[in-house]
C-alpha cells in the first residue's frame, strides 16, 4: 500500500487543526448571512447590497469579526504546536529504536515524552534485556562448544597415540621375552621382569582406551558392569596415582550382565570416577571406593537391579549445589575448565537404560554417587534365559597381549565377564580373590606357569580343576604333552578361529557327560 494513502498522525493532526480553525470563521459567515437576510435588502443604505453590508460590518462591527478570526488563528497555532510535539516525540522514539537495533545495545530506552508511548518502549526494553541474556548465553555456549571440540580432538589424538603405542609395546614385550629366555643374570632378569610388567600394564591401558573409543558406535550388547569398572579404573589409574588417591573396589561376584550400551555406560563410570578424583585432588589425597551390588527380581514382576556406588572422601557437596548437580552446564569448576556436562550426560545415559542416578553426602564426609540399572532381558531373544544364566566369569591369563586382546574381544562379544592377568602370579591372586566359571590360561605363562597355576587351583579351587583351557605356543614338549594328557584339560593351539575357541570353552564348561549346555557360548 502506498505510504501516502495510509493514515498518518501528522496529517490527521493538521487536518483536524485546520477544520477546528475554520469552524469559527464558518460560524461568523453563517451568522452574518442570516443577519443580512433577516433584515432584508434596501431598508438601510448598508443593507443595499452584500458588498455594502460587508463594508459596513468591517467599519462598524470589526470587533465582532476579529473574535472568530483570532479564535481560528489560536486554534491553528495550538494545533501546529501539538503537531510539532507529537512529531518530536515520535522522531525521538524512532531514533532510540534505530540506535538500539544498530548498536545491538541492551541499555533500556530513555523515558518517552508521552506516557502513552511507554506502552511501546516497555516491551522493547524487555526484548532488549532478554536479547542481552541470549547474547550472553550464546557466547557462553560458543565457548563451551569450542571446549567440547577441543576435548573431542584430544580424544581422537589419544586414540591415535594409543593405537601407535601398540607396536612399540609389542616390540618391548617381545625383546624382553627374548632376553629372559637367554638366561640372563638374576639382576638383569629382575630388571627385565619390571620392564615386562610395566609394558603389559601399558598394553592393558592402551587396550582399555581403544575398546572405549571403538565402542562409541556400537549398539546394545550384554555388558558386565564389573568389567567396565575395572577397565575404567585402569584408564584413570595414572590420574589417581599422581593425586595420591587410593582406589578400592567391592564388586559383587554374582553380578549379572546387563543388556545395554557398553561405551556410554563406561562413560557414566568415567565421569563419576574422574569427578570424585578431581574433588579429592584438592585435598592432595583421598580414598575412592567403587561398589557394585545386585538385588534379585522382586515379587510382582519387579526386575532385578544392579546398583553401582562411587564413594569418595573428598569435600562433599554443598546443600545448595545438590539439587542442581544434574543440570546441563551446571559447574562449580568453571575456573578449572569444568563444562558442567559430565553429570547431565551421565544422567541421560542412565535414563536411556531405564535406570536412576542420584547423589548424596556420606555421613562420614565426602560424596556418594549411585546409579541403578534394571536388568532387562535381551529383547529379541525372549528365550526365557535370564542374563545371569548366560553369563560366564572367565579368568584370561596370557602373557601375549595381542592374543589376550583377541581372545578377550571374542569372549566379551559372547557375554563373558572377563578378568585379565598377564602372568601366573597375577592369575593366582585373581583366582584367589574372585569367583570364576572358567580359566583360559597360556601354558607357558611367566612367573608361575600354567602347570603350577593348575596345581594351585586343584587345591584351592577344586571346582575349577576341570575348567581349564590351555593355550599352547608352538611345539609342546613331551613333558607338557604328558601334563595335558593327565589333566584332560582342553587345549587350544594358535592360530585358532573363533569357532575353535568357543568349542573348547563350551566343552570345558559343559562336558558332554553333564548333559547340560543350555547356556553355551555359541
Ligand atoms: P564439571 O565436572 O565439568 O564441573 P559435572 O557435571 O561433571 O561437571 O559436575 C557438576 C558439578 O558437580 C561439579 O562442578 C561439582 O561441583 C559437583 N560434583 C561432581 N562430583 C562431585 C564429587 N564427587 N564431590 C563434590 N562435588 C562434585
Q: Mind spelling out the 3-state secondary structure of 319-351? A: CCCHHHCCCCCCCCCHHHCCCCCHHHHHHHHHH
Cell numbers that stand for 165 in this block:
603405542
Mutate to test the pocket of ligand 1, among 240, 243, 269, 275 (most ligand atoms within 8 A of CB): 275
Mutate to test the pocket of ligand 1, among 331, 346, 359 (most ligand atoms within 8 A of CB): 331
Separation of CA 312 and ligand 1 centre (Å): 12
Mutate to test the pocket of ligand 1, among 312, 343, 362, 369 (most ligand atoms within 8 A of CB): 343
Write the CA distances from 300 to 81, 180, 297, 303, integer angstroms.
85, 61, 9, 9
**Choice between 226 and 488, residue whose per-residue pLDDT is larger:** 226
Q: What percent of the chain has pLDDT over 70?
A: 88
Residue 306 pLDDT > 90:
yes
Q: What are the residues whose beta carbons fall under 8 Å from the beta carbon of 187, sequence distance 6 or more?
A: none
Report the pLDDT averaged over residues 331-350.
86
Confidence of residue 369 (pLDDT cuts 50, 70, 90): very high
Q: What is the mean pLDDT of the chain?
A: 81
Instruction: Give the lowest-confidence range in 17-21, 39-43, 121-125.
Output: 39-43
**Choice between 415 and 82, residue whose per-residue pLDDT is larger:** 82
Instruction: Give the lowest-confidence range in 63-72, 84-93, 494-503.
Output: 494-503
How far is the C-alpha of 380 from the C-alpha of 378, rounded, in Å?
6
Confidence of residue 282 (pLDDT cuts 50, 70, 90): confident
CA-based nearest residue to 349, from 223, 259, 265: 265
Instruction: Give the lowest-confidence range in 27-41, 117-131, 178-192, 245-259.
Output: 27-41
b/e for 383-397, b at 16 or more Cβ within 10 A?
Answer: eeebbeebbbbbbbb
Write the CA distances from 308 to 167, 291, 293, 367, 435, integer angstroms.
36, 6, 7, 14, 19
How many C-beta neighbours within 10 Å does residue 430 have?
Answer: 17
Report the pLDDT averaged over residues 465-478.
79
Continuous H helices in 420-470: 424-433, 450-460
**Residue having the nearest C-alpha atom to atom 16 of ligand 1:** 332
Instruction: Name the β-bridge partners of 360.
Output: 368
pLDDT of amino acid 516: 42
* Residue 287: its H or E element: strand 286-295
Separation of CA 207 and ligand 1 centre (Å): 28
How far is the C-alpha of 164 from the C-alpha of 179, rounded, in Å?
24
Separation of CA 311 and ligand 1 centre (Å): 13
* Helix/strand/coil for 470: strand
Separation of CA 331 and ligand 1 centre (Å): 6
Which atom from ligand 1 is nearest to the alpha carbon of 331?
14
Decide if 381 contacts 192 (C-beta within 8 A): no
Residue 101 pLDDT > 50:
yes
The DSSP call for residue 40 is -
Burial of residue 241 (CB within 10 Å: 0-12, 13-18, 19+) is: exposed
Which atom from ligand 1 is nearest to the alpha carbon of 279?
24
Q: Using CA atoms in the order 229, 371, 521, 442, what is the torsion angle rounded to 10 degrees?
A: 10
Confidence of residue 382 (pLDDT cuts 50, 70, 90): very low
Q: Using CA atoms in the order 32, 33, 35, 38, what is the torsion angle rounded to 10 degrees?
A: 180
Which atom from ligand 1 is nearest to the alpha carbon of 330?
10
Confidence of residue 323 (pLDDT cuts 50, 70, 90): very high
Separation of CA 345 and ligand 1 centre (Å): 12
* Helix/strand/coil for 283: coil
Mutate to test the pocket of ligand 1, among 325, 362, 369, 371 (most ligand atoms within 8 A of CB): 325
Crossing angle, helix 225-242 and helix 186-214, to 10 degrees? 120
Separation of CA 279 and ligand 1 centre (Å): 8
Separation of CA 275 and ligand 1 centre (Å): 6
Residue indicated by cell numbers 591401558: 205
pLDDT of amino acid 380: 43
Separation of CA 271 and ligand 1 centre (Å): 9
Separation of CA 161 and ligand 1 centre (Å): 29
Separation of CA 367 and ligand 1 centre (Å): 10
| Residues lining ligand 1, Cβ inside 6 A | 271, 275-276, 279, 312, 314, 317, 321, 325, 330-333, 338-344, 367
**Residue having the nearest C-alpha atom to atom 18 of ligand 1:** 275
Amino acid at each position: 500500500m502506498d505510504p501516502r494513502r495510509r493514515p498518518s498522525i501528522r496529517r490527521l493532526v493538521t487536518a483536524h487543526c485546520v477544520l477546528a480553525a475554520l469552524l469559527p470563521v464558518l460560524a461568523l459567515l453563517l451568522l452574518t448571512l442570516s443577519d443580512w437576510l433577516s433584515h432584508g435588502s434596501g431598508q438601510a443604505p448598508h443593507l443595499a447590497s452584500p458588498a455594502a453590508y460587508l463594508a459596513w460590518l468591517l467599519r462598524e462591527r470589526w470587533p465582532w469579526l476579529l473574535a472568530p478570526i483570532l479564535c481560528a488563528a489560536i486554534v491553528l497555532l495550538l494545533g501546529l504546536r501539538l503537531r510539532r510535539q507529537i512529531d518530536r516525540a515520535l522522531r525521538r522514539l524512532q531514533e532510540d529504536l534505530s540506535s538500539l537495533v544498530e548498536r545491538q545495545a541492551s541499555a533500556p530506552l530513555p523515558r518517552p515524552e508521552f506516557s502513552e508511548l511507554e506502552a511501546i518502549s516497555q516491551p522493547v526494553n524487555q526484548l532488549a534485556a532478554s536479547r542481552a541474556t541470549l547474547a550472553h548465553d550464546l557466547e557462553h555456549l560458543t565457548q563451551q562448544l569450542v571446549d567440547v571440540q577441543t576435548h573431542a580432538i584430544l580424544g581422537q589424538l589419544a586414540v591415535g597415540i594409543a593405537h601407535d603405542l601398540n607396536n612399540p609395546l609389542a616390540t618391548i614385550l617381545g625383546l624382553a621375552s627374548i632376553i629372559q629366555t637367554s638366561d640372563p643374570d638374576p639382576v638383569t632378569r629382575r630388571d627385565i621382569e619390571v620392564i615386562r610388567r610395566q609394558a603389559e600394564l601399558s598394553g592393558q591401558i592402551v587396550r582399555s582406551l581403544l575398546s572405549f573409543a571403538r565402542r562409541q558406535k556400537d549398539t546394545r550388547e550384554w555388558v558386565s558392569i564389573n568389567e567396565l569398572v575395572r577397565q575404567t579404573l585402569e584408564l584413570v589409574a595414572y590420574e589417581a596415582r599422581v593425586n595420591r588417591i587410593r582406589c578400592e573396589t567391592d564388586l559383587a561376584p554374582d553380578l549379572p550382565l546387563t543388556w545395554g550400551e557398553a561405551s556410554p555406560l563406561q562413560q557414566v563410570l568415567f565421569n563419576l570416577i574422574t569427578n570424585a578424583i578431581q574433588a579429592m585432588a584438592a585435598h592432595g589425597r583421598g580414598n575412592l571406593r567403587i561398589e557394585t551390588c545386585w538385588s534379585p527380581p522382586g515379587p510382582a514382576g519387579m526386575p532385578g537391579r544392579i546398583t553401582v556406588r562411587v564413594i569418595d572422601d573428598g569435600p562433599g557437596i554443598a546443600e545448595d549445589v545438590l539439587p542442581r548437580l544434574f543440570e546441563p552446564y551446571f559447574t562449580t569448576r568453571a575456573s578449572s575448565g569444568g563444562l558442567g556436562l559430565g553429570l547431565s550426560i551421565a544422567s541421560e545415559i542412565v535414563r536411556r537404560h531405564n535406570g536412576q542416578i542420584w547423589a548424596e553426602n556420606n555421613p562420614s564426609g565426602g560424596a556418594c554417587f549411585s546409579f541403578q540399572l534394571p536388568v532387562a532381558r535381551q529383547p529379541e531373544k525372549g528365550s526365557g534365559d535370564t542374563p545371569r544364566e548366560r553369563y560366564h566369569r572367565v579368568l584370561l591369563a596370557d602373557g601375549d597381549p595381542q592374543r589376550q586382546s583377541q581372545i578377550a574381544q571374542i569372549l566379551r562379544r559372547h557375554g563373558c565377564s572377563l578378568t585379565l592377568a598377564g602372568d601366573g602370579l597375577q592369575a593366582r591372586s585373581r583366582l584367589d580373590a574372585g569367583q570364576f566359571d572358567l580359566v583360559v590360561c597360556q601354558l607357558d605363562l611367566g612367573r608361575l606357569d600354567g602347570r603350577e597355576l593348575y596345581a594351585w587351583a586343584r587345591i584351592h579351587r577344586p571346582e575349577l580343576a576341570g575348567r581349564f583351557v590351555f593355550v599352547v605356543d608352538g611345539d609342546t614338549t613331551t613333558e607338557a604333552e604328558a601334563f595335558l594328557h593327565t589333566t584332560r584339560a582342553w587345549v587350544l593351539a594358535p592360530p585358532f578361529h573363533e569357532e575353535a575357541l568357543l568349542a573348547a570353552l563350551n566343552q570345558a564348561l559343559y562336558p558332554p557327560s553333564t548333559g547340560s549346555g543350555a547356556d553355551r557360548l555359541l
